[in-house]
Amino acid sequence: MLIGKREQSKHSSSNKRRQAEVNCRKKDMVSLLFLLIPFSLYCFLPCAAEATMYRCISRSGSMVYTNVRNSGKCTTLSLRRNSASKRFSLPPIRNSHAYDSLIRTAASRYRVDTTLIKAIIHVESGFNHKAVSSKGAKGLMQLMPQTSRELKVYNPFDPRQNIDGGTRYFRKMMDSFNGDISLSLAAYNAGPALVKRIGRVPAIPETRNYVRKVLKIYRMYKNQ
């Protein structure tokens, strides 16, 4: 009888040890999940946000490309990730190839990357040659009236004149900033005087977003 009680006691102790080990493993798994969930969210959310752009129509009727939905008249443009190439692919945009010949001619004349001029037009007007911004910028490359006069662009809604004038103006920015594309884009958007004075991309949300979007679309066109 005494031997039976000892065996029963040993068996009970063994069960308790096994149960304790199982409980420890469960606690370890729960702790691991609590570590992985925030990390997974951290990795996923930026990618999801980065992959969405909107094409919005302003009150003046101009088309604006942005990563923030700023009005009710916005269309989502998803930048789909190509699993084979690990690059973002550009969704088709109406008239995106309509001005390729004019862009190539102007880019060659003023020694600017054709794809870069196309990216600027993409962001500025969405290839709408009749686009007018709330500030009065007109046409494919959104030339301001004063800039159009200086460039002798008499009809900013004419694609040939607008692309030629806008590309010539951007070449001027490139020469002023020693070929630095980011500074040249900032100057195209915010004006060369400000960029020259501070020597960097201004801390203006619109300008910083503009530079970022043009460079991003420039890379996507390059990778197509």
In the predicted structure, residue 45 carries a pLDDT above the cut 50: no
Q: Are 3 and 23 members of one domain? A: yes
Q: Are 76 and 22 members of one domain? A: no
Instruction: Indicate the range of 18-22, 68-72, 131-135 predicted with least confidence.
Output: 68-72
- The active-site residue, picked from 7, 21, 124, 150, is 124
Q: Per residue in 181-219, pLDDT tens? A: 999 999 999 999 999 999 999 999 999 999 999 999 999
Q: Are 80 and 148 members of one domain? A: no
In a domain, 95, yes or no: no
Residues 6+ apart with CB under 8 A from 65: 53, 54, 55, 56, 77, 122, 123, 126, 213
Q: Per residue in 74-108, pLDDT tens? A: 666 544 433 333 344 455 577 788 999 999 999 99
Higher pLDDT, 62 or 114: 114
In a domain, 64, yes or no: yes
Q: How many domains does the chain have?
A: 3
For residue 60, what are the domain limits? 49-88
Q: Are 217 and 113 members of one domain? A: yes
In a domain, 93, yes or no: no
Q: Are 218 and 117 members of one domain? A: yes
Q: Per residue in 134-157, pLDDT tens? A: 999 999 999 999 999 999 999 999
Q: What's the rounded Cα separation, in Å, for the pair 145 and 60?
A: 16
Q: Are 194 and 127 members of one domain? A: yes
Q: Are 25 and 41 members of one domain? A: yes
In a domain, 136, yes or no: yes
pTM, two decimal places: 0.62
In a domain, 215, yes or no: yes
Q: Are 144 and 107 members of one domain? A: yes
Q: Per residue in 151-188, pLDDT tens? A: 999 999 999 999 999 999 999 999 999 999 999 999 99
What CATH code is carried by the domain that includes residue 137? 1.10.530.10
Q: What is the pLDDT of residue 16?
A: 57
Distance spanning both ends of the chain, measured CA to CA: 85
Among residues 165, 195, 170, which one has the least CA distance to residue 183?
195
Q: Is 124 a catalytic residue?
A: yes
